[in-house]
Amino acid sequence: MPTDAAAQSQHAMHHTEVLDSAVAPRFAHRVRFTRGALDTANPALRALFASDPGIAARRAVVVLDAGVAAAQPDLAARLHAYLDAHSGAVPAICEVATVPGGEDAKADTRVADLVVDLVERHRIDRKSFVIAIGGGAVLDAAGYGAAIAHRGVRLVRIPTTVLAQDDAAMGVKNGINRFGKKNFVGAFAVPFAVLCDELLLASLPDAVYRAGFSEAVKIALLKEPAYFARIERDAARIAARDLDAASPVIRRSAELHLRHIVDGGDPFEANEARPLDFGHWAAHRLESMSRHAVSHGDAVALGLLLDCRYSNLRGWLSDAGHARIRACIAALGLPTRHPLLADSGALLAGLEEFREHLGGRLTVTMLRSHAPADGGPEHFSGFEVHELDAGLVARAASELA
């Protein structure tokens, strides 16, 4: 038995002073939608910088998606002209660097390294800017570079795909792929501003354009029955690229993603549940299995179909509800089958990858039907499960192969 004195001295030696604190920084997340952002008469881009009294001394480097540069060859010149016309109220542009677009931008550290180099070469300080223009992949890779240079220089995102406008650019994270795994390296970082211009979408190939609506379907199913009904109603017009039908759907998706991130209480994803990743465990795996031949948006469409069929097989989602969701995804011109889904073993290996990426227990969102009392159309809600029945996943996947 230790004596009282010995116990006391041991206690003193092991004394731990506890300074634990909650860190709750506040960020402004500026998000704007406009048309014709680079028309010199449009004040939207200039207005992004209005909160900065030192703007006249700020500099910017621009990272431009090569796919956009090829499809809109006058874009860099128009950006120069805009910034020249508003000189003193916007940052001075030092260089426009064109980088590979699509998932290649996230394949290695080249784009992020280039951003770090540009920051050094042009003396971009932490109050100055990286302006990234492109699809979600270029925004993710350039955003990662901007987040690590000087531990974070200001990032302005100008998204140029449907998916980047209705989802990716709203996020407060960036990333690149490594070890054949999506977004293995990256950081949480709130952008300085996001400016969406629907006219920039005009040059998108049809498949890239349509792929972006899978994220709109995802968030509509989880958050807003009337919004899902609108997408169902207008799906054919959206697929035919009727902007009157598509623009409100893109904007609402962006807003619902933004609201979830800003008001959901977990912007940096510390919790186990990540409802915005509905349909994504299989989607990320399918992208990697296909070596990115399947785009993120297409993979999300297939991942949603898989998890909806699984929910249906488990008795959570009605046959009618399942049929409606399938029909909506098909009417949007999104894929409803892929041969790689025949390999359910390889697919299921993605579950552990997904769990590791989120941390903690496996948490996957599934869908449930609710029959309304008044006899109207049923609606849906997401809920979390912590294990999946491998046999039923294999059955659902084989039907989509």
Ligand X SMILES: NC(=O)c1ccc[n+]([C@@H]2O[C@H](COP(=O)([O-])OP(=O)(O)OC[C@H]3O[C@@H](n4cnc5c(N)ncnc54)[C@H](O)[C@@H]3O)[C@@H](O)[C@H]2O)c1
Among left, alpha and beta (phi > 0; psi -120 to 50; other), residue 36 is left
Task: Tell the residue number behind the tokens 């939207």, with chain if given.
Answer: 44
Q: For residues 55 and 155, which CB has a smaller minimum distance to ligand X in the complex?
A: 155
Residue 179's H or E segment, with its range, is: none
Q: For residues 182 and 322, which CB has a smaller minimum distance to ligand X in the complex?
A: 182
| Closest CB 137 distance from ligand X, rounded Å | 3
Q: Please give the torsion angle defined by the CA atoms of residues 361, 367, 371 and 373, in that order, rounded to the nearest 10 degrees.
A: 50
- Paired tokens of 269: 């994803």
Query: Residues, the chain, total?
Result: 401
Q: For residues 79 and 164, which CB has a smaller minimum distance to ligand X in the complex?
A: 164
Chain positions contacting ligand X, by CB under 6 A: 65-68, 71, 101-103, 106, 134-138, 140, 160-161, 163-164, 167-168, 171, 173-174, 182, 200-201, 203-204, 208, 211-212, 295-297
| Closest CB 381 distance from ligand X, rounded Å | 22
| Closest CB 331 distance from ligand X, rounded Å | 20
Q: For residues 163 and 220, which CB has a smaller minimum distance to ligand X in the complex?
A: 163
Q: For residues 295 and 365, which CB has a smaller minimum distance to ligand X in the complex?
A: 295
Q: For residues 205 and 391, which CB has a smaller minimum distance to ligand X in the complex?
A: 205
Q: Exposure of 232 by Cβ count < 10 A (0-12 exposed, 13-18 middle, 19+ buried)?
A: middle
Q: For residues 321 and 382, which CB has a smaller minimum distance to ligand X in the complex?
A: 382
| Closest CB 399 distance from ligand X, rounded Å | 26
Q: For 385, phi and psi rounded to 5 degrees?
A: -125, 160
Q: In what order do the strands lie in the sheet with 92-99?
A: 30-34, 193-197, 154-159, 129-134, 59-65, 92-99
| Closest CB 213 distance from ligand X, rounded Å | 11
| Closest CB 29 distance from ligand X, rounded Å | 12
Fill in the amino acid letter for 21: S
The 3-class SS string of 311-345 reads: HHHCCCCCHHHHHHHHHHHHHCCCCCCCHHHHCHH
CA angle in degrees (0–180, nearest 5) for 335-340-350: 105
| Closest CB 143 distance from ligand X, rounded Å | 7
DSSP symbol at 394? H
Q: For residues 260 and 296, which CB has a smaller minimum distance to ligand X in the complex?
A: 296
**CA distance linking residue 213 with residue 298, whole number of Å:** 9
DSSP letter string over 54-93?
Answer: TGGG-EEEEEEEHHHHHH-TTHHHHHHHHHHHTBTTBPEE
| Closest CB 216 distance from ligand X, rounded Å | 12
| Closest CB 48 distance from ligand X, rounded Å | 19
Q: For residues 37 and 208, which CB has a smaller minimum distance to ligand X in the complex?
A: 208
**CA distance linking residue 18 with residue 15, whole number of Å:** 10
